């Protein structure tokens, strides 16, 4: 009997925003795996720290942040091999994943390598988009509104067209694109409706007008645009 | 001292997919409020049932499902008044909300009426989109993919354009539009990549090829389209 691969969504960072199912899966896991930047503590492990059994075996997948994809892919190859060994030995492996595993989650790289060979369970997590709108106290979508989730590197003209078409917009992976995104929103007359938030639900959470956002923005930051004006009243 | 209005996201239906924070907020609340269709059990209450304190006062907001908006709005007016009385008496009120409060959540109708007058906390929940992709075992977005969340009633040409532009698409509020949506996806050559799911995470969960989906589809159903082909490998 092989073990089960369990992709555990941890939510945005506040450990209390883990689901009951995620908390139980972590506590029960004989093996826990998670990514970490080389030489640093794993953010995923930090979220789950209080739940990991003292006897659990931990597999750290050191994933370098490089522009080229190969080093990261090699790291996931090696990590998948180590996880496969545990699964083949009959042990369940809980893979810790910030946010939601299938919403820009690192778990997908392991899922692609292992789900075909082992029983796989995915426990969804609170996305950064839900966390950010809750932290802002700003409703995102109601009734028949549409939502566009976009990535910062997207070309400006394409970004502008999609922002125009949707009632609500979440722009992730802002990084060094923050100034250009601000220009796009400004040209659409939407600067007032855009809000910048970084590290939602963590102690270091910051909410700023987009004009005051740092440039470059940190990795865990987002711009939310809500264009509807209380249409549900 | 007035009480706090707490919008509690319950997630998609499986009580284990509530967050630790949501579970604690419900258990601690002296007053619990939730919507219900007249004459039926409240789905939100059913999800949270095991957590509500026996001593809690319950405010049931009976919201009729009519085409005209006025009857529902009147119901929320009355519900907001009853919640306001409890808050003014210094009691915290936990408002139960399926899914995520700010993602098509019923809580927004109360938020619009009360958040300006009372301290308000929103606890995000697992969205039906995250729940559906986890249940399908189908990754949604990776890297710089974009996601479009659309509503079934949208016009076909507009829907087609947005489906074409995004790497992943979630279509909510499918209902009686299911046949037309199937035609749109078929004309785009995307029928094979579209999956139909209803009541994700509940015992009654069903996953079907879109060609086999019931017409009309039930309220708690969704179509997911993932167009990327494992770009993260």
* Interface confidence (ipTM) of the complex: 0.96
Chain B 86-145, CB below 8 Å of chain A: which residues? 100-104, 108-109, 111-112, 115, 120, 122-127, 130-131, 133-134, 137-145
Are the beta carbons of A232 and B139 separated by less than 8 Å?
Answer: no
What confidence score (pLDDT) does residue A230 get?
59
Task: Name the packing angle between helices B20-28 and A20-28 (round to 10°).
Answer: 120
User: Which residues sit opposite B36 in a β-bridge?
Assistant: B62
The CATH number given to B5-123 is: 3.40.1010.10
Q: Is A21 exposed, middle or buried (0-12, 13-18, 19+ CB in 10 A)?
A: buried
Are the Cβ atoms of A140 and B16 closer than 8 angstroms?
no
From A179's Cα to the closest Cα of chain B, the distance in A is 18
Same topology, domains A5-123 and A128-226? Answer is no
Of A95, A19, A105, which is closest to residue A52 (Cα–Cα)?
A: A95
Averaged over B171-187, what is the pLDDT?
Answer: 96
User: Mean pLDDT, to the nearest integer, of B30-59?
Assistant: 96
**Minimum distance, in Å, between the CA of residue B84 and any CA atom of chain A:** 17
Q: How confident is the model at residue B66, as a pLDDT? A: 84
CA dist A104 and B72 (Å) reads 37
Q: Which residue has the higher pLDDT, B192 or B27?
A: B27
Contact A202, A155 (CB under 8 A): no
Per DSSP bridges, beta strands A31-36 and B31-36 are: unpaired
For the domain covering A128-226, report its CATH number: 3.30.950.10
Look at residue A157 in the predicted model and tell me its pLDDT: 97
Which residues is A5 bridged to in the sheet? A93, A120
A153 at the B interface (CB within 8 A)? yes
Angstrom CA distances, A42 to A62, A98, A206, stand at: 9, 10, 21
Cβ atoms of A232 and A167 within 8 Å: the answer is no
Region B20-29 average pLDDT: 98
B89 by Cβ neighbours in 10 Å (0-12 / 13-18 / 19+) ranks as: exposed
pLDDT of A109: 94
C-alpha A12: how far from chain center:
7
pLDDT at B68: 84
A53 touches chain B (CB under 8 A): no
* Inter-chain CB proximity B151 and A139 less than 8 Å: no
- Dist CA B194 CA B8 (whole Å): 31
Of B143, B71, B152, nearest to B104 by C-alpha is B152
Residue A118 CA to residue A121 CA, distance in Å, equals 10
User: Would you state the torsion angle of the CA atoms of residues A19, B24, A44, A121, taken in this order, to the nearest 10 degrees?
Assistant: -10
- CB neighbours of A117 closer than 8 A, spacing ≥ 6? A84
Q: What are phi and psi of A75, to 5 degrees?
A: -60, -40
pLDDT of residue A99: 97
Does residue B233 carry a pLDDT above 60? no
Q: Tell me the percentage of chain B whose pLDDT exceeds 90.
A: 91
The DSSP-derived string for A86-101 is: HHHTT--EEEEESB-T
Instruction: Mutate one of A124, A133, A144, A174 to test the B interface: name it (highest B CB count within 10 A).
Output: A124
User: Mind listing the pLDDT tens digit of every residue in chain A (233 residues)?
Assistant: 999 999 999 999 999 999 999 999 999 999 999 999 998 999 999 999 999 999 999 999 999 988 888 899 999 999 999 999 999 999 999 999 999 999 999 999 999 999 999 999 999 999 999 999 999 999 999 989 999 999 999 999 999 999 999 999 999 999 999 999 999 999 999 999 999 999 999 999 999 999 899 999 998 899 999 887 555 55
Report the pLDDT value the prediction gives residue A55, as an integer from 0 to 100.
Answer: 97
Neighbours of A62 (CB within 10 A): 15
**Average pLDDT, integer, range B45-68:** 95
State how far the Cα of A52 lies from the Cα of A42, in Å rounded to an integer.
14
Q: Which residues of B touch A114 (CB under 8 A)?
A: none
CA proximity to A194, closest of A204, A181, A205: A181
Q: Where are the domains of chain B?
A: 5-123, 128-226
In the numeric block, which tokens belong to residue B183? 């035609």
Query: In chain A, which residues have their Cβ closer than 8 Å to the Cβ of B21?
Result: 14, 16-17
The number of residues making up chain B comes to 233
Task: Say whether pTM exceeds 0.90.
Answer: yes
């Amino acid at each position: 009997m092989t073990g089960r691969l369990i992709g555990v969504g941890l939510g945005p960072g506040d450990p209390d925003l883990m689901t009951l199912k995620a908390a139980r899966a972590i506590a029960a896991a004989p093996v826990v795996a998670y990514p970490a930047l080389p030489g640093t503590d794993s953010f995923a492990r930090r979220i789950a720290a209080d739940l990991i059994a003292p006897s659990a075996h931990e597999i750290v997948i050191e994933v370098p942040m490089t522009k080229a994809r190969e080093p990261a892919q090699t790291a996931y190859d090696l990590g998948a091999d180590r996880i496969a060994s545990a699964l083949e030995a009959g042990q369940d492996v809980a893979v810790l994943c910030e946010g939601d595993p299938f919403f820009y989650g690192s778990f997908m790289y392991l899922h692609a390598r292992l789900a075909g060979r082992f029983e796989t369970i995915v426990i969804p997590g609170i996305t950064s988009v839900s966390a950010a709108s809750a932290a802002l106290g700003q409703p995102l979508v109601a009734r028949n509104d549409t939502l566009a989730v976009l990535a910062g590197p997207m070309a400006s003209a394409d970004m502008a067209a999609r922002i125009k078409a949707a009632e609500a917009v979440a722009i992730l992976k802002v990084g060094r694109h923050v100034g250009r995104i601000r220009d796009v929103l400004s040209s659409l007359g939407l600067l007032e409706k855009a809000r910048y938030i970084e590290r939602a639900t963590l102690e270091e959470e910051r909410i700023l007008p987009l004009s005051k956002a740092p440039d470059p923005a940190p990795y865990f930051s987002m711009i939310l645009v809500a264009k509807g004006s209380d249409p549900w009243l």
